[in-house]
Amino acid sequence: MADLDLDPRTKIIAFSSVIALAFISKDLLVIAALAAAMMAALLLSDKRGFIMRGLKGMIPLLIIAFLLWSFMHEWSLFQRYESGVNLQLGVFMSLRLFLILLTSLGFVATIGMRDLVNALNSFRLPYKAVFVLGLTMRHLHTIAEDYKAIKEAQSSRGLELDRGSLFRRIKNYVPVLIPLFVRSIENAERLTLAMELRSFSLNRRRSSNRELKILDLVIIGGFISALTLAALHYLFAVI
């Protein structure tokens, strides 16, 4: 998706449509086709390395999901199934989970935070909510970078974080968490001061979105049409 230089709004609509299709569709072949198409699109993008690393982490989760839905589906809280082993249901639910995780991974890999905020703002969502979302995601990224730096610094000083019992490990992380907490407060204070100096106001809506290209319109139209047909077929049994 990144190679096509799609508009962020197109990516949001595509992501939302695929997730909705994953929950609406009840046919194994449809879920498999969606997963295969999404897999091919992401592997052809320039984020294939990130995608492959993420897929490796999915394998244990998918195996657990297959086993649970194949042998323990009769205890489901959401829908009643027949008792006994149901391998087809296990494959279907595993593929559905794979599609959801793969789509989410691709969305995170191919859209930047600034583009996401601008796209949500163009959908006329409350500007305060969009701003808080963008600021939170940016702050989480900063916290992750600070955590990595502090952990490496403490480890270089001889602090053993992953040795001993569970309670011992929790205690070992105190020298990491306290500086991280202090650094987070300092970053928040600097951000607040910078916003005050620039007279920042949440009452002014900002947007820098470009016009949608023909390719974006075609993709959006295709996903909306597919979602409409799926809803008519699975939810309302019209077609």
Check residue 23 and give its pLDDT: 94
Domain count, the chain: 2
* pLDDT value of position 2: 43
What does each of the 239 residues of the chain score in pLDDT, given as a tens digit?
445 678 899 999 999 999 999 999 999 999 999 999 999 988 888 888 888 888 888 999 999 999 998 988 777 766 666 777 889 999 999 999 999 999 999 998 888 878 888 888 888 888 888 888 888 877 887 888 899 999 899 888 888 877 778 788 888 889 999 999 999 999 888 888 887 787 777 666 555 557 889 999 999 999 999 999 999 999 888 87
Q: Are residues 217 and 189 in the same domain?
A: no
**Residue 41 included in any domain:** yes
8 Å CB contact between 78 and 125 = no
- The verdict on 218 and 107 lying in the same domain is yes
Q: Do 101 and 13 belong together in one domain?
A: yes
Mark whether 70 and 164 lie in a shared domain.
no
Residue 116 lies in a domain: no
What pLDDT score does 208 carry?
Answer: 56
Q: Which residues contact 215 (CB under 8 A, 6 or more apart)?
A: 4, 6
The answer on 36 and 106 residing in a single domain is yes
Same domain, 103 and 174: no
Q: What is the pLDDT of residue 163?
A: 79
For 157, the domain range is 126-197
Whether 91 maps to a domain, the answer reads yes
Same domain? 81 vs 15: yes
Question: Is 203 inside any structural domain?
Answer: no
**Angstrom distance (rounded) from CA 120 to CA 134:** 10
For residue 25, is it within any domain? yes
pLDDT at 209: 59
pTM of the full structure: 0.76
Residues 102 and 216 in one domain: yes
